[in-house]
Chains A and B, each alone.
Chain A
Amino acid sequence: MARVGVFICHCGTNISGAVDVARVVEAAQKMPMVVIASDNKYTCSEPGQASIRQAIVSNKLNRVVIAACSPRMHEPTFRKAVSAAGLNPYLLEIANIREQCSWVHSHDREKATAKAIELVKMAVAKVIRHEPLYPREVPVTKRALVIGGGITGIQAALDIANAGHEVVLLEQEPSIGGRMAQLDKTFPTLDCSACILTPKMVDVANHPKIRLLTYAEIKEVRGFVGNFKVEITQKARKVDYSKCTGCGTCWQKCPEKTPSEFDLGLGKRPSIYIPFAQAVPTKPVIDTDSCRYIKYRQWLAAGEQGKKPPECRICEKICPTGSIAWDQEPQTITEEFGAIVVATGFQVYDHRHYEEYGGGAYPDVISGMQLERLMNASGPTGGEIVRPSDGTHPKTVAFVCCVGSRDQAKGRTYCSKVCCMYTAKHAIMLKEHDPDVQCYIFYIDVRTGGKDYEEFYLRTLDDAGAIYIKGRPSKIYRDGKKMIVLGEDALMGRPIELAADLVVLATGMEPRTGADKLAQKLNISYNTYHFLVEAHPKLRPVETQTDGIFVAGACVGPRDIPESVAQGSAAAAKVAGLFSSDTLVTDPITSVVNRERCTGCLLCVAICPYKAIDCETTRDTRVVAVVNESLCKGCGLCVGACRPKAIDLRGFTSQQILEEVNSLWS
């Protein structure tokens, strides 16, 4: 037999200003199974909570209804209060008579009071059908996976590891370092990028708590917060890392040369290679697309058709440790993690999409990242800034901002945020390299939001004497040795024609190719540009809608280095917080499947936004849906979708909802 206590809150005058609380109390006393009904000025206050506790004990209550503010506000508070009196905290129902009644009906006291009474009546009808619910505890695997070995991932991995937890840092390329490793200097301080990055890379390599998995990719992710099971594909390096010492003999002797990805095609690298001198790990991989011997093996396998490639194998012959492993195949590793940090970063927009700027056909129209490589002392030209076409030193350099940014026609409506600043840096650096250089910068707006950024931009005017031209060029073409840039000087309102030796396109940021596929594997959202979506852009910037999966850095949106580092640390703090307890308490308000009624249509599996429903085969060989209670958020979508009505939501069962509705007519 249910014994219900109803407690009605005045909320100061928030509720009593529009609702006649005394009448609600009077009406509640007459409702079925109600043993006691009373009111309180502030139910959430300590005296208010004490009166509830006391009433539960003295009236032997086994159900409680509190008519007050939204359950989003104080449900946890009152659950605790009920629990303190010895009652199961889920035998409580909140009737929201503030947000859904007094605040919206403040003009009509009569009707507001009537509505409040009905809301209480519904809550009483529902609470009678409540069952005690018990939260479950799931263990937490205190190991984190960081996806992406750029500066963001490096920072996140170091911070998690320094908090005392094991970390696996996964990188798809042969070395960690990411885009920052390609940069020459960093704005606005002109710190050498490698000088501040490579020590951190070494820290990662030497940290006892960090395991580095380079040249590897995510294959599949299963499980839930605290208990992820991740399948990782280790790509075939064709080099046995347990034997290799990274002595460098092989990559010095390899006769095959192919355009270097790291130098964006401006330089060449051997087929067995490390991407750059300070790579971590300093052990090579063999590029199976260009290696002569691999081609030879493919030729053999294909039945010796066509021209015979040379059977090179020089690396194998000269390797002092016998590390070359031609038969190495991709491997799948399965690991368990409690949390995942996604830091897959960005790639530079491919300016070949801009036909009007030459579509990549002109060697002297380069991207900002290519200029970084040209400026870099360890770059393909040893730091000499020359025209890729003829190797001469450019004297007039044109920069074009917003290439692949702020361009709806190219599907890139957003501002990439860093291009204004890196262009300013390029103008300053070019002037430092060669005082005879004159830079022209075509821009729409100069955006310098950041500490010391505006001051840095002003240096391009004061020190480098750069000329900013407001207007977006419409065409770039070659005229003899010069590149002609056609634009408008919006400030004079006249067309402008600039004959430049070198054109640098300030290409924007876009997410890494495959960011969308990875997001699908992780069950996190991404936007139209394939940037990952955070749980809240302001208040939960590194969390996702999936518990235990965090995002950081430029995979979420255009970020500069300071922001990326801050986000890496923020994600690490979230992971450390998650790992601070041995178990996680999960909310018992979840879906539950009646296996007898389930027809196995599995519509629920497809509809569940949290991937919480799976199927299994019963002993009588029927396929039925099964809910993973740790993943289920209790949204109720599956309940609505289930045709045979086999699914119910604990705490919100169909019967409870029906009782609520029926109570209005009884």
Chain B
Amino acid sequence: MGKYAGNPDAVAALVKQDQVHRDTYIDREIFDLEMKHLFRNTWVFVGHDSQTPEKGDYITTQIGDQPVIMTRHSDGRIYVLLNRCPHKGTKIAIDRSGNTGKFFRCPYHAWSFKTDGSLLAIPLKKGYSGTDLDQSEAARGMKRVGAVENHRGFVFARLATEGVGFEEYFGDAMSSLDNMVDRAPEGRLEVAGPPLRYMHQCNWKMLVENQTDACHPMVAHESSAGTAVRLFEESDWPADKPKPMAMQIIAPFMSPYEFFEEMGIRTWPNGHGHTGVHHSIHSDYSEASDYWNAMVDAHGEEKAKAVLDENRHNTVYFPNIMIKGPIQQLRNFIPLGPDRTLVESHIYRLVGAPDYLLQRTAMYNRLINAPTSIVGHDDLEMYERAQEGLHVDGMEWVNLQRLHQGEETYDSEVVENGTTERQMRSQFQAWKKYITLSMERVEQEAAA
């Protein structure tokens, strides 16, 4: 037995309120326990239902380390199935998206399954007469995940059959996702093209933490945003001409500490939270009147104003996604190993809105989230240095004390100074709760 399996007390001891042990980032056994427990017990993002608009459409992805298929069944509903044939384990689909028609067919022995996973047919079925096949797990078809919820197009799943309900898990945190969807005059989003895919040689939690880290932009991004501001100032851009879109996107990263302090952070229970309570780096984007008019037509002036006055910056949905409401993006931090994370960055079209909004969103994605992005280069350099630096022995804790004023509780919504690390502390409390929730305690042998 290792150090942590069967020992929830040892796992819990890695998280103190204002510091966490490095093993949460670098230890293989902890990573395996995250996959086995944390990613089973929590609600994890799977996909957007516009990725599978027609019956038989599917995408493949993973929840933690579990390969899954999200499908659109003939009843019009979305199902999330574990991606293995119940017969011998063969993955049923390996392309990232496609249409399978009325059924999935395993390419190995041609067992076939309806798009809700139920068994359709087995060739040469007489070979099973007199066996107990109908009593077997295999005869029940492709296994479904424990629970699925489609919230306004965004599909989340919980692998565990029993556990926390969707409403209870997210609570008021869904207000950010609702705001993102409400920004569409027709009240729905559509995915726009495939996601950017960016490989990081670091732990997935570093990426999640960085989403609400308001003390790094003016430092780590001085190289990109600082240079952009300087180049722009040196150019002879007419004062009455709107700044180029690229400048609107990049320049706010260089805002001073006071800007980020005042923008605020809101934390909710279960590790969810967002930066940009009062304003954010997305506040000063120029909006054209045709969009405003479409919103007023759809919602009335009062609601349109309320929806667009929200400038939430990054909203983290624990464990592993972040959305940007004002620019309709979702980043999925997919854990592949303790030191390996795949980041998929999706963009969405506001249905009923003018195209220039999607064009800004697409531009933001390539300027900030791409493996070719100068801003992305700044961040990844820091994550990978941290991943390596954490191996230093004799100094084993990561500090999360910024604006930690004595004992904190995390069971209600709180708004604080935007530079606090409270959101990161809250994520780790949720981490501790959901990773140990289903761990069984195996009595440790007494030390010799």
- A and B bound? no
Interface residues of B (CB under 8 A from A): none
